[in-house]
Structure 1
Amino acid sequence: MRERILQAVAAEVDYRGLKFSIRDITSRLGISSKTLYQQFESKESLVLALVKQSIGEMRATEATIREDESLPTLEKLKQALIILPGGIAMKDVRLLDELRNGYPEAWRYADEYMREGWIGIRALVDEGVEQGVLKEFNFDLFVQMYIGSMYRLIEYQVSRAGEMTLIEGITQVVDILLEGICSDKSDHK
């Protein structure tokens, strides 16, 4: 039952954002609110469970990317950096803003993951440095730059909806962080 409820919550979030109601969920499932409340104590706990599920899916995707022998290390790193926020955003950047403003416990969980869920990325960076495809750099500073870019991108996306998708923005940020802004033709003077 718990999984069915979470699937219904995900469907409602896709449809209504985080403005769904408990009644929307119970109507979708054809259950009573009492049945729902036996599984989840509040709307906040529903949202938190959805965020935790999303982060779990991102961790699994990241692990799959890291273990893919067909991908070079730099491509693994790029893909892993691009998928990290995708699950948290739950397909729409406005949801992150709603999450931050309306669901403090779920936001703290997502924010903590963004700040501390870097073990797999660190392993890919170390591998890249060892292979010579990445130079030595301050990893903690890189993480802060990435997180700062993410949060600024979210604010930008909310204020300028429709100009660029979140995934397009993240891809551009990752390209700049990993490849810089100099053209290949430049002699880097």
Structure 2
Amino acid sequence: MRERILQAVATEVGYRGLKFSIRDITSKLGISSKTLYQQFDSKESLVLALVKQSIEEMRAAEAAIREDISLTTLEKLKQALIILPGGIAMKDVRLLDELRSGYPEAWKCADEYMREGWSGIRSMVDEGVEQGVLKEFSFDLFVQMYIGSMYRLIEYQVSQNGEMTFKEGITQVVNILLEGICKDKSDYK
């Protein structure tokens, strides 16, 4: 039952964002509110469970990328950095803004993952440095730049009514972080 409820919540979030109601979920599933509340004690706990599920999906996707032998280390790193926020955003950047403003426990969980869930990325970076495709750099600073860029991109997206998709924006951020902005590195001195 718990999985059915979470699936219904994910569907409703896709349609309505986080403004869905418990009644929307119960009527969609043909269950009573009591049945739902036996599984989840509040709407916040539903949203928190969805965020945790999203984080687990991102971890699985990152692991699959790391294990893909057809990709170079740099390709793995780039793909992992692009998918990282996608799961939390649940495919729509406005949801992150709603999450931040209306669901403190769920936001705390998502934010904690964004700040601390970097072990897989770190291992890809270490591998890239070891292979000589990446130079030595401050990983902690890189993480802070990525997180800061992502959060600023969220604010920009919301204020600009989505002139570019979040994925387009985060892809550009990752390209700049990994490749810089110079066309020819020999011109940069």
Same fold per superposition (TM over 0.5): yes
**CA separation in 1, counterparts of 2:59 and 2:186?**
37
Post-superposition Cα deviations, 1:135-155, rounded to whole Å, max 9, x if no partner, equal 000000000000000000000
Unpaired segments ≥5 residues, structure 2: none
Question: Alpha-carbon deviation of 1:186?
Answer: 5.6
Match of 2:45 in 1: 45
**CA separation in 2, counterparts of 1:140 and 1:99?**
25
Mapping of 1:103-182 within 5 angstroms? 103-182=103-182
* Structure 2 counterpart SS, 1:133: coil
**CA separation in 1, counterparts of 2:48 and 2:136?**
37
**CA separation in 2, counterparts of 1:185 and 1:112?**
35
Match of 2:102 in 1: 102
Whichever residue aligns with residue 187 of structure 1, its letter is D
Aligned-residue CA RMSD (Å) = 0.8
**CA separation in 1, counterparts of 2:163 and 2:184?**
27
Higher alpha-carbon deviation: 122-131 or 177-186: 177-186
**CA separation in 2, counterparts of 1:28 and 1:53?**
21
Post-superposition Cα deviations, 1:110-150, rounded to whole Å, max 9, x if no partner, equal 00000000000000000000000000000000000000000
**CA separation in 2, counterparts of 1:48 and 1:35?**
18
**CA separation in 2, counterparts of 1:6 and 1:185?**
48
Whether 1:88 and 2:88 are equivalent positions in the alignment is: yes
Whether 1:22 and 2:18 are equivalent positions in the alignment is: no
Using the size of structure 1 for normalisation, the TM-score is 0.98
Post-superposition Cα deviations, 1:85-114, rounded to whole Å, max 9, x if no partner, equal 000001111100000000000000000000
Whichever residue aligns with residue 64 of structure 2, its letter is T
Match of 1:31 in 2: 31
* Structure 2 counterpart SS, 1:69: coil
**CA separation in 1, counterparts of 2:95 and 2:162?**
14
Match of 2:187 in 1: 187
Match of 2:78 in 1: 78
**CA separation in 1, counterparts of 2:55 and 2:83?**
10
Question: Alpha-carbon deviation of 1:188?
Answer: 1.6
**CA separation in 1, counterparts of 2:171 and 2:110?**
20
Unpaired segments ≥5 residues, structure 1: none
Using the size of structure 2 for normalisation, the TM-score is 0.98
* Structure 2 counterpart SS, 1:11: helix
Question: Alpha-carbon deviation of 1:172?
Answer: 0.1
**CA separation in 1, counterparts of 2:172 and 2:70?**
24
Whether 1:11 and 2:29 are equivalent positions in the alignment is: no
Question: Alpha-carbon deviation of 1:187?
Answer: 2.0
Post-superposition Cα deviations, 1:22-75, rounded to whole Å, max 9, x if no partner, equal 000001101000000000000000000000000000000000000101100000
Give aligned-pair identity as a percent.
88
**CA separation in 1, counterparts of 2:160 and 2:110?**
23
